[in-house]
């Protein structure tokens, strides 16, 4: 690569090159491309859902696009020093990609063989409500915690790290986990994917029970008695995780 093809961009931690887009680099053109594509998926999903007899899959795509867009946007607003293309959380694990592929597969198979199962009704509305409430809770959690929120559990206490107990954190501990838990379950209820509901419930409980236990261990190390007192007045509001 020729030196003249490289330039530092203020506010970014990577070198921006003239190589193009969708190359995995955290460059303005890639940020714009990811946001643009997510916007297309969101808009197309919402619009298409108004024309279809079974709009669930389109609404699911819209919810998925909005979730990933907000993950990056809120990280950019409050934690720009940790910002990368990974902040979109589009490719954060093989398990996540596989789960979404199975979601589509289950919906399409059941739609083909058991068409009546996918008739839009009250259960779908319940799914939409859970998706919206879950997204709102996660967004409020990131907004309230600001720079204290990270996608990875902190192993060391930064000097600016404070214990957040106001706003949505005064109602529950780990509201971002609460939000994702109910958002994810809501998507499966929206799709009326019975296998997905059971599978997601088991997988989410397994993941968050371990994640929350470890995070609470680190938070007690960081904030000692203050965090212990905080845990006495709040719960996670996630089933079977106190």
Q: Say how many C-beta atoms besides its own lie within 10 A of residue 27's C-beta.
A: 21
Residue 178 near residue 238, CB atoms below 8 Å: yes
Q: Report how far residue 160's alpha carbon sits from residue 148's, in angstroms, rounded to the nearest whole number.
A: 8
- Each residue's pLDDT tens digit, 11-60: 455 555 566 788 889 999 999 999 999 999 999 999 999 999 899 999 99
Average pLDDT over every residue of 107-132: 96
Class of domain 3-233: mainly alpha
The radius of gyration of the chain from alpha carbons, rounded to an integer in Å, stands at: 20
Confidence (pLDDT) at 16: 52
- Check pLDDT > 80 for residue 2: no
Residue 106 near residue 193, CB atoms below 8 Å: yes
**Burial class (CB within 10 angstroms; exposed 0-12, middle 13-18, buried 19+) of 151:** middle
pTM score: 0.91
- Each residue's pLDDT tens digit, 160-185: 899 999 999 999 999 999 999 999 99
- Give residue limits of the domains in the chain: 3-233
């Amino acid at each position: 690569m020729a030196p003249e093809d490289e330039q530092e961009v203020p506010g970014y931690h990577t070198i921006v090159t003239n190589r193009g887009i969708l190359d995995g680099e955290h460059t303005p053109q890639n940020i714009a491309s990811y946001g643009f594509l997510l916007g297309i998926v969101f808009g197309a999903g919402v619009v298409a859902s108004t024309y279809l007899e079974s709009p669930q899959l389109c609404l699911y795509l819209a919810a998925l696009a909005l979730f990933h867009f907000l993950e990056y946007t809120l990280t950019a607003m409050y934690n720009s020093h940790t910002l990368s293309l990974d902040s979109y959380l589009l490719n954060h694990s093989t398990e996540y990609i596989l789960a979404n592929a199975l979601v589509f597969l289950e919906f399409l198979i059941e739609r083909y063989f058991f068409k009546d199962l996918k008739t839009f009704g009250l259960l779908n509305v319940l799914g939409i409500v859970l998706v919206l409430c879950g997204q709102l809770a996660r967004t409020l959690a990131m907004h309230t915690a600001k720079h204290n929120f990270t996608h990875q559990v902190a192993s060391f206490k930064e000097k600016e790290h404070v214990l957040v107990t106001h706003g949505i954190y005064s109602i529950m501990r780990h509201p971002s986990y609460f939000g994702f838990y109910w958002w994810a379950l809501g998507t499966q209820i929206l799709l009326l994917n019975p296998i997905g509901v059971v599978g997601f419930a088991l997988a989410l409980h397994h993941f968050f029970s371990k994640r929350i236990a470890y995070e609470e261990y680190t938070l007690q190390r960081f904030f000692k008695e203050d965090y212990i007192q905080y845990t006495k007045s709040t719960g996670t509001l996630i089933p079977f995780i106190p």
